[in-house]
Amino acid sequence: MKYDLSNKRCVEKLLHDAGFTFKKSLGQNFLTDPSVCPEMAFAAADADTGVIEIGPGIGVLTVELAEIAKKVIAVELDERLRPILAKTLEDYPNASVIFSDVLKLDLNKLIEDEFKDCKRVTICANLPYYITSPIIMSLLESKLPVESITVMVQKEAAERLCAKIPSRDVGAVTLAAAFYAEGEMLFGVPRDSFTPAPNVDSAVIQFKIRRSAVAEVRDEKLLFRLIRGAFEHRRKILVNSVSASGVVSKEKLTSALTELDIPLTVRAEQLSLEQFAALADKL
Ligand code: SAM
């Protein structure tokens, strides 16, 4: 049986029959806007694609992905959703659910084991907002063999992640994400598209994973420590912010900036990714 998972009444009945109550601590805001999931699925998959979904909830995005993709594996933390997902995904043999914390799952192994018969693998999710950045950074840093990551996040997080570099809107996460992927804002989603409605609007963004490095760097870990240190006190000039964070001394930083012809008064938001990489190499 197919359920109308974007229909508020249908969703409420499914949840009520299963005795399910929302857990705010798990970021449980379920989409009930019929236009959003088909559009996300279309952006993330085609008939040759294997998709990993994070946090399927009751399966509203999962079924749209399953309609388009070759195979969908969803990872859900909340075991209480098991009986509901068993019903809503009953007619979709190409979709299955692993009940686990996505941050603890070996996604490289999952891709190797499950998606051998797919031409490409992508990730698509309406992310739980309490762990948006850790999930995105862990997906990017683990260098998964995926083509793209299409996710719904809080609007402010989307703007930060896709900010133009350099600009005032840039944060450490912008540069870290840009190192691995090219981010693009796809469309906005108002707060009343969810049950229950969150206090913020959302947006769908897509990262296309880079095939080759945007900036060559000898020590990636140092680059990211430098970037985090630079944005830790974003009102301070770079030399003061980085040295205050303890990553490297003021003297070393001053001489590296001088060698690279970068003004000593520069702030983190004024540097490009390539300049951060050159600075990390000098250090
Ligand atoms: N995809 C559904 C939708 O669009 O309506 C639900 C999205 S809801 C914003 C986030 C989902 O992520 C919830 O189902 C929640 O239980 C799940 N979740 C929260 N933390 C998780 C984690 N660490 N690993 C996997 N799933 C998680």
Average pLDDT, the chain: 95
Quote the pTM value. 0.94
pLDDT tens digit sequence for 231-275? 998 889 999 999 998 889 999 999 999 999 999 999 999 999 999
Give yes or no for residue 26 CB within 6 A of ligand 1: yes
Q: Which amino acid is at 34?
A: P
208 CA distance to ligand 1 centroid (A)?
Answer: 22
Give yes or no for residue 132 CB within 6 A of ligand 1: no
Per-residue model confidence (pLDDT) at position 213: 84
Per-residue model confidence (pLDDT) at position 247: 87
User: Residue 204 — pLDDT band, cuts 50, 70, 90?
Assistant: very high
Give yes or no for residue 77 CB within 6 A of ligand 1: yes
pLDDT tens digit sequence for 89-127? 999 999 999 999 999 999 999 999 999 999 999 999 999
Give phi and psi for 105, each to the nearest 5: -90, 140
210 CA distance to ligand 1 centroid (A)?
Answer: 27
Give yes or no for residue 78 CB within 6 A of ligand 1: yes
Give yes or no for residue 59 CB within 6 A of ligand 1: no
> What is the per-residue DSSP string for the chain?
----TT-HHHHHHHHHHTT----GGGT--EE--TTHHHHHHHHH--TTEEEEEE--TTTHHHHHHHHHSSEEEEEES-GGGHHHHHHHTTT-TTEEEEES-GGGS-HHHHHHHH-TT-SEEEEEEE--GGGHHHHHHHHHHTT-S-SEEEEEEEHHHHHHHT--SSSTT--HHHHHHHHHEEEEEEEEE-GGGEES--SS-EEEEEEEEPSS-SS--S-HHHHHHHHHHHHHTTTS-HHHHHHHTTSS-HHHHHHHHHHTT--TT--GGG--HHHHHHHHHH-
27 CA distance to ligand 1 centroid (A)?
Answer: 6
Residue whose CA is closest, atom 20 of ligand 1?
26
pLDDT of 175 over the 90 cut: yes
Residue whose CA is closest, atom 17 of ligand 1?
55
47 CA distance to ligand 1 centroid (A)?
Answer: 25
56 CA distance to ligand 1 centroid (A)?
Answer: 6
Choose which residue among 6, 22, 28 to substitute to test ligand 1 binding: the one with the highest number of ligand atoms within 8 A of its C-beta.
28
Residue whose CA is closest, atom 21 of ligand 1?
77
Give yes or no for residue 158 CB within 6 A of ligand 1: no
Q: Which amino acid is at 229?
A: G
pLDDT tens digit sequence for 53-89? 999 999 999 999 999 999 999 999 999 999 999 999 9
User: Residue 1 — pLDDT band, cuts 50, 70, 90?
Assistant: confident
